[in-house]
Amino acid sequence: MASIKEQFEIPGTLKTWSYALIGIGAAALLYGMFTKGFGSDEHEQVHFWGTLMYNSIFWTLVTNAAMFFLCFSTMAMAAWMQSFRRIAEAISTLVPIFSGITLLVLLYVVLSHNHHIYHWLDAEAVAKDPILKGKAGFLNPTFFIIWTTLTITLWSYFGYRMRQISLEADIAPMDADTAHKYNVRSMVRSGFFLVWFGLTVASTIPWLWLMSIDAHWYSTMYSWYTFASSFVAGMALIALWLIYMKNKGYMELSTSDHLHDVGKFMFAFSIFWTYLWFSQYMLIWYANIPEETIYFKNRVQGSYKPIFFLNLFINFLCPLLILMKRSAKRNFTLVAFMAVLILFGHWIDFYQMVMGSLMKEHVTLGWLDFGILAFFVGVMILMVARSLASKPLIAKYHPFLKESILHQV
Amino acid sequence: MAQKKFVVGCFDNENVLFPAVKQVRTAGYKIKDVYTPFAVHGLDHALGMRETSLHTAGFIYGITGTTTAVSAISWIFTKDWPLNIGGKPHFALPAWVPIIFELTVLFAAVGMVLTFCYLCQLAPGVKKHHFHKRATDDLFVMVIECTDKTNTEDLKALLSANGAIETDVQVAEEGWWFGTYDKEDNLYNEKQLA
């Protein structure tokens, strides 16, 4: 393995681009914050905080999906991803940063009692409302803050523990006994993360953070839908970084066979996302109960109609038709294009999930959305690159690495 | 059916098989197939086989299923026998999606199974020549097509030199034909067990 480049050196252009994006994003963010967020117009306030909310939640869940990918692969004793596991690890180092931002935004929204975003924050309205009263045990500021803080702390902590055990594979070759113990310990650590992930991302967190914007409405599909959306975007992000690193001449051990499997995840979970999208939509459409259809009223028939169908086009039809062929999943250019498209598509999905409820009358997609997006993308690029540069690119004594090198699809 | 001459080489180890396949191919012989007791990873690449077009066929069957479902349901519910179901429009696409999906899967699955059987020349009552009985048990059996110019002794020597534990020359039908197995052709007959 003498010829393998283990140390990533951050290219100057990457730094320039990420600083530029952060600069543009920060300018838009601060300008928006002072003209809208702290302005006197309540409508503008909702616009700003809603936009910041969906962006930070989206990027938190997407980066967390990278850790989820690592953990379930470890749990399944999957070997094929070992050759690029450091990319997923590097992406997951952003969880504490992005979830910290999310926590600040949510704390501000809850503590400033912005009941235009979370209707259940309005104590007077809740007292008069039997539905909200029934949900008050779950939807109240105290529980919201405690659960959110706990969730974010444990995501970060369990993720940190997973990254620490991965570093042990850099030190020295393992004999069979050590390797076995190492695998068992990795699996125990990933188990902690997975259980907590199930209790949060796959259930409570989307209810609390996103679904409670429509406090009267509920859907049992919602959390899975959010999970599928963020997971497929997370796989797209991993694919994008893998392709970038290959282009720069790193990650020699990862081949088009590895990309093929990442592409399969992107393809399969795009279909899975559509399945959940449709299950949620069709049941509500068929039952035709006003309490439930209200969620889709302004999305299907109102101003959000173009975004609603664009969402379906980008996130279902494009992956279905473009990624279906084997050769497409092995083509670096095509997978890179699809990864960008899927990331954008699910960002739009999160946009309509949040702003479709907050700004019912008109689509607000504009400089603020793209500015804040630029900020998050810039931070993501910079921090992932730094994290990649901070440790070897290959966990070279990992017991499964050889199997990963031989991986063939 | 055309009879053809084949040289058969048996290997008992896949680590020996791969270099042997390479040697035989570089020597310019045409390998008809290698019969293995289990799926050997990478053997199709080593044999230089082209990628199967089974999945393209599957896509076409799937599209056929989708088209059949969409046209049948839309004709039935809008033209032939429109029903008022819960006040829904006659052209109620969301309600049809599950059936469209199921029919797509059904067409693709059944079509691909039949195509697969056709490509592998499998059908009820079809007879195929067995080059070596132990191909289903523990031997990797390489079958090489002979031409008029093939020197079978040379080829057998080449196979033996590359680790074949058993070689012979067989004249056999190259494809498949209808009929039953001969009595003495049964697997695990008394003669073989003894």
pLDDT per residue over A306-328, tens digit each?
Answer: 999 999 999 999 999 999 998 99
Output the CA torsion sign for A265, A266, A269, A271.
negative
| Dihedral Cα B88, B92, B97, B103, nearest 10 deg | 110
Task: Give how far A293 is from chain B: nearest CA, Å.
Answer: 14
Distance between CA atoms of residues A134 and A126, nearest Å: 9
* A209 has a pLDDT exceeding 70: yes
The pLDDT-based confidence of B178 (bands split at 50, 70, 90) is: low
In the numeric block, which tokens belong to residue B121? 């020349």
A46-97 tens-digit pLDDT: 999 999 999 999 999 999 999 999 999 999 999 999 999 999 999 999 999 9
Q: Which residue has the tokens 């310990």?
A: A185
Question: Residue A290: its chain B contacts at CB < 8 A?
Answer: none
Burial of A7 (0-12, 13-18, 19+ CB in 10 A): exposed
Taking alpha carbons only, the member of A350, A344, A45, A353 closest to residue A217 is A353
Distance between CA atoms of residues A406 and B14, nearest Å: 16
Record: contact A408-B42, CB cut-off 8 A? yes
* B184 has a pLDDT exceeding 60: no
Contact A81, A253 (CB under 8 A): no
Distance between CA atoms of residues A68 and A63, nearest Å: 9
The pLDDT-based confidence of B193 (bands split at 50, 70, 90) is: very low
* B183 has a pLDDT exceeding 50: no
Largest CA distance in chain A: 71
The pLDDT-based confidence of B188 (bands split at 50, 70, 90) is: very low
Contact A183, A126 (CB under 8 A): no
Report the first-to-last Cα separation within chain A, whole angstroms: 23
The pLDDT of residue B194 is: 42
Element housing B177 (H / E): strand B177-178
A77 touches chain B (CB under 8 A): no
The pLDDT of residue B2 is: 67
Task: Give how far B31 is from chain A: nearest CA, Å.
Answer: 23
Please, which residues 301-330 of chain A have a Cβ atom closer than 8 Å to chain B? 324, 326
Task: Give how far B63 is from chain A: nearest CA, Å.
Answer: 12
Q: What is the mean pLDDT of chain B?
A: 86
* B177 has a pLDDT exceeding 70: no
How many H-runs (helices) and E-runs (strands) does chain B carry? 6, 6
Record: contact A282-B95, CB cut-off 8 A? yes
Rounded alpha-carbon distances, angstroms, from residue A356 to A43, A163, A364, A365: 14, 37, 9, 11
Query: Which of A281, A326, A408 is opposite residue B94, by nearest beta carbon?
Result: A281
Query: Which of B55, B87, B97 is opposite residue A282, by nearest beta carbon?
Result: B97
Distance between CA atoms of residues B19 and B46, nearest Å: 9
Distance between CA atoms of residues A352 and A52, nearest Å: 13
Question: Residue A287: its chain B contacts at CB < 8 A?
Answer: none
The pLDDT-based confidence of B179 (bands split at 50, 70, 90) is: low
Neighbouring C-beta atoms of residue A237, cutoff 10 Å: 25
In the numeric block, which tokens belong to residue A391? 């440790």
Please, which residues 105-124 of chain A have a Cβ atom closer than 8 Å to chain B? none
Contact A371, A29 (CB under 8 A): yes
The pLDDT-based confidence of B189 (bands split at 50, 70, 90) is: very low
The pLDDT of residue B180 is: 56
Three-state SS at A166: helix
Contact A395, A75 (CB under 8 A): no
Query: Which of B42, B87, B94 is opposite residue A282, by nearest beta carbon?
Result: B94
* Rounded mean pLDDT, A94-105: 96
The pLDDT of residue A369 is: 95
Q: What is the DSSP letter of A361?
A: S
Task: Give how far A282 is from chain B: nearest CA, Å.
Answer: 6
Taking alpha carbons only, the member of A249, A157, A251 closest to residue A200 is A157
Burial of A321 (0-12, 13-18, 19+ CB in 10 A): exposed
Q: Which residue of A has its CA nearest to B95?
A: A282
Domain B3-51+130-193, what fold? Alpha-Beta Plaits (3.30.70)
The pLDDT-based confidence of A33 (bands split at 50, 70, 90) is: very high
Three-state SS at B34: strand
The pLDDT of residue B182 is: 52
pTM: 0.88
The pLDDT of residue B181 is: 52
* B192 has a pLDDT exceeding 50: no
B17-52 tens-digit pLDDT: 999 999 999 999 999 889 999 988 888 888 988 888
Chains A, B: CB contacts within 8 A come to 19
Q: What is the 3-state secondary structure (H, E, C) of B86-127?
A: CCCCCCCHHHHHHHHHHHHHHHHHHHHHHHHHHHCCCCCCEE
Please, what is the Cα angle at B24 between B19 and B30, to 5 degrees?
135
Q: Domain ranges in chain B?
A: 3-51+130-193, 54-119
A255-288 tens-digit pLDDT: 999 999 999 999 999 999 999 999 999 999 999 8
B104-163 tens-digit pLDDT: 999 999 999 999 998 888 888 777 788 888 888 889 999 999 888 888 899 999 999 999
Element housing B140 (H / E): strand B140-145
* A342 has a pLDDT exceeding 70: yes
Interfacial residues of B (vs A; Cβ cutoff 8 Å): 41-42, 51, 55, 59, 86-88, 94-95, 97-98
The pLDDT of residue A334 is: 96
Side-chain half-sphere exposure of A14, counting CA atoms within 13 A: 19
* Rounded mean pLDDT, A161-169: 93
Distance between CA atoms of residues A214 and A118, nearest Å: 8
Task: Give how far B190 is from chain A: nearest CA, Å.
Answer: 43
Q: Which of A393-407, B45-59, B156-170, B178-192 has the lowest mean pLDDT?
A: B178-192
Record: contact B94-A324, CB cut-off 8 A? no
The pLDDT of residue B130 is: 83
A353-365 tens-digit pLDDT: 999 999 888 888 9
The pLDDT of residue A362 is: 87
